């Protein structure tokens, strides 16, 4: 049994978040600690700890995460100026919450992919 994450609690409505989109597969909400003017997390409703735990049967859900990020980028008005999608995996990847999530960042020039 996986230890519940803050994201599972947001999805279940136990913790408040600014939810922009939800369906039977995924939930999208604003990051509590934004690193850019637009910083949104797209998260599967089922808890998958890391990218290493993704199964072939998750392919549709992963595609839905990306398609939803693109749609939200358009709604937020950053599709043309540009944005970045990031998924962090494990310690060296900078993962803090062990429930996979796609970061959608934009609203300013984001610079090089890595700053160090």
Q: Which is nearer to ligand DGP, 24 or 33 (CB)?
A: 33
Residues making contact with ligand DGP (CB under 6 A): 6, 15, 17, 29, 31-33, 41, 88, 94-97
Q: Which is nearer to ligand DGP, 56 or 113 (CB)?
A: 113
What is the smallest separation between the CB atom of 114 and ligand DGP, expressed in angstroms?
14
Neighbours of 33 (CB within 10 A): 6
Q: Which is nearer to ligand DGP, 56 or 89 (CB)?
A: 89
Q: Which of 39, 99, 101, 103 is catalytic?
A: 101
Q: Is 99 a catalytic residue?
A: no
Contact 32, 89 (CB under 8 A): no
Contact 28, 18 (CB under 8 A): no
Please give the order of strands across the beta sheet that includes 26-30: 19-22, 26-30, 38-44, 102-106, 83-86
Enumerate the β-bridge partners of residue 21.
28
What is the smallest separation between the CB atom of 22 and ligand DGP, expressed in angstroms?
14
Cα angle 85, 8, 72 (rounded to 5 degrees) comes to: 35
What is the smallest separation between the CB atom of 31 and ligand DGP, expressed in angstroms?
5
Active-site residues, by number, are 101
């Amino acid at each position: 049994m996986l230890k519940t994450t803050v994201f599972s609690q947001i999805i279940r409505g136990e913790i408040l978040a600014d939810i922009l989109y939800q369906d039977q597969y995924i939930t999208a909400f604003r990051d509590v600690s934004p690193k850019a003017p637009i910083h949104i997390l797209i998260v599967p409703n089922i808890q998958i700890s890391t990218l290493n735990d993704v199964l072939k049967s998750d392919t549709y859900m992963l595609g839905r995460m990306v398609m939803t990020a693109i749609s939200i980028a358009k709604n937020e008005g950053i599709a043309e100026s540009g944005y970045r999608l990031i998924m962090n995996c494990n310690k060296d990847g900078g993962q803090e919450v062990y429930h996979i999530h796609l970061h959608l960042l934009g609203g300013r020039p984001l610079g090089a992919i890595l700053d160090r």
